[in-house]
Chains A and B, each alone.
Chain A
């Protein structure tokens, strides 16, 4: 049972309004109280949703370039050199110039390879297939898994599931395609596992899914539902 005072503190904590002493005291209380932790999470989600009430704006496209540039630099950042000018200080510049030429050649080669890859993809059905690895989320068993081989051109795919126990009576597993251009996940049918928790079935979503971001499996009532309602058990991107 959470007291009203604890609820007050939880709301202030979720909004970041406690001072540092109150904050530390409340966090130690949180560590010992699972129910209070759940409440804080709920209140945090409510606070997070408040951001959506701000008038909707987009940052300029240049900001993304700036941010992506920063992380690329951070990824390749090297230990800074000593500030004292070395006798052969031109050497790094010469290496940089050589690297620049080399990168130019690589870029040309990349364009050529991309063209070749596009040709191969057009000719080979396997190359037109995208693979999605689905990982479990509670309440699915930790070793449950699934792989989807999806062919957008044919709008069909194959799913293989393993280590997923059969659902209780009156329930079925249902496969969903999460498509960037559809508000709700698109049903790709009911999937039934055998006694050993394995299934391998071909599927076709009920609507056209041209930009599939992910596939997911949920637990639904027997026979499936037109719109996802039940908990997600497995989900994964390409």
Chain B
């Protein structure tokens, strides 16, 4: 059974509905709310500020043009935009013919060396967003290491389950099970924490 949406999720849905009606102020508000986490994701996967900014621009133009077709039954607005961002980043990684340069030890809050055109989020970041990020980080770091490793390789490096199996020297079925168990645990623990 699907969970009841949170207040923030419902506000996001309303913003997207308004964007679908070409409301630029709603678009500006959703940009302010989501550009930080989406840019952080693009930077982590691409490792290049200029490319991450181009990808983010593509994502927000897609949000503008596709808001009318957003389906709240399929995902929250945040997850929808994360998936759009991953998709645009993966297009760019494919175009440049190489994989993301991320380091899998990703749950550490390390300063990035490639932040020349960006600002490390600090005081401007809301307490709520920090809390949420800290909560996810806590849950992720407390997953069994082999499950966390498989999930991070799949999500941030966009390695297929076949590639992960080859890299780890594990059978394909084992890798699939690690991804499945890890994601299920992540969701379960996030919803109860």
Which residues of A does B touch, CB under 8 Å? 4, 7-8, 10-12, 14-17, 37-38, 41-60, 63-64, 66-68, 70-72, 74-75, 135, 137-138, 176, 178, 183, 185, 213-214, 216, 228, 231-232, 235-237
Contacts and interface: CB of A to CB of B under 8 A. Distances in A.
Given A41-B2, A45-B76, A66-B57, A235 B11 contact: yes
A16 B179 CA distance: 12
A63 B3 CA distance: 35
B177 interface: yes
Given A47-B155, A138-B4, 19 more contacts: A8-B177, A8-B180, A12-B161, A41-B74, A46-B187, A49-B186, A53-B107, A53-B133, A54-B106, A55-B109, A57-B40, A57-B43, A58-B39, A68-B27, A68-B31, A70-B61, A137-B5, A216-B10, A231-B4
A89 B43 CA distance: 46
Contacts of A47: 79, 82-83, 155, 183
A8 B187 contact: no
B interface majority secondary structure: helix
A181 B117 CA distance: 28
A10 B60 CA distance: 27
Interface in B121-152: 121, 124-128, 130-133, 136-137, 140, 151-152
A38 B1 CA distance: 6
Nearest to A60: B117
A91 to B, nearest CB: 30
Nearest to B79: A48
Interface in B59-103: 60-61, 64, 73-76, 78-80, 82-83, 85-87, 90
A48 B43 CA distance: 16
Contacts of B121: 56-58
20 contacts: A12-B161, A15-B183, A41-B75, A45-B187, A48-B83, A50-B186, A52-B37, A52-B133, A56-B37, A56-B40, A56-B120, A57-B120, A58-B118, A64-B28, A70-B61, A137-B5, A178-B7, A214-B11, A232-B4, A232-B7
Given A47-B155, A48-B75, A57-B36, A232 B10 contact: yes
B3 to A, nearest CB: 8
A64 B29 CA distance: 11
Contacts of B110: 55
Interface of B: 1-7, 10-11, 14-15, 22, 24, 27-28, 31-32, 35-41, 43-44, 52-53, 56-57, 60-61, 64, 73-76, 78-80, 82-83, 85-87, 90, 106-107, 109-112, 115, 117-121, 124-128, 130-133, 136-137, 140, 151-152, 154-156, 158, 160-161, 176-177, 179-180, 183-184, 186-187, 190
Contacts of B31: 64, 67-68
A212 to B, nearest CB: 12
Given A43-B184, A59-B53, A67 B11 contact: no
B39 A57 contact: yes
Nearest to A45: B79
B117 A50 contact: no
Contacts of B28: 64, 68
Contacts of A237: 11, 14-15
The 9 closest A-B pairs by CB, nearest first: A48-B79, A46-B187, A54-B44, A11-B180, A54-B40, A48-B82, A59-B39, A52-B133, A56-B121
A183 B127 contact: yes
A135 B15 CA distance: 13
Contacts of A17: 154, 160-161, 179
A80 B44 CA distance: 39
Contacts of A56: 36-37, 40, 109, 120-121, 125, 130, 133
Question: Quick one: which of A4, A56, A75 has the most chain B CB within 10 A?
Answer: A56
B151 A50 contact: yes
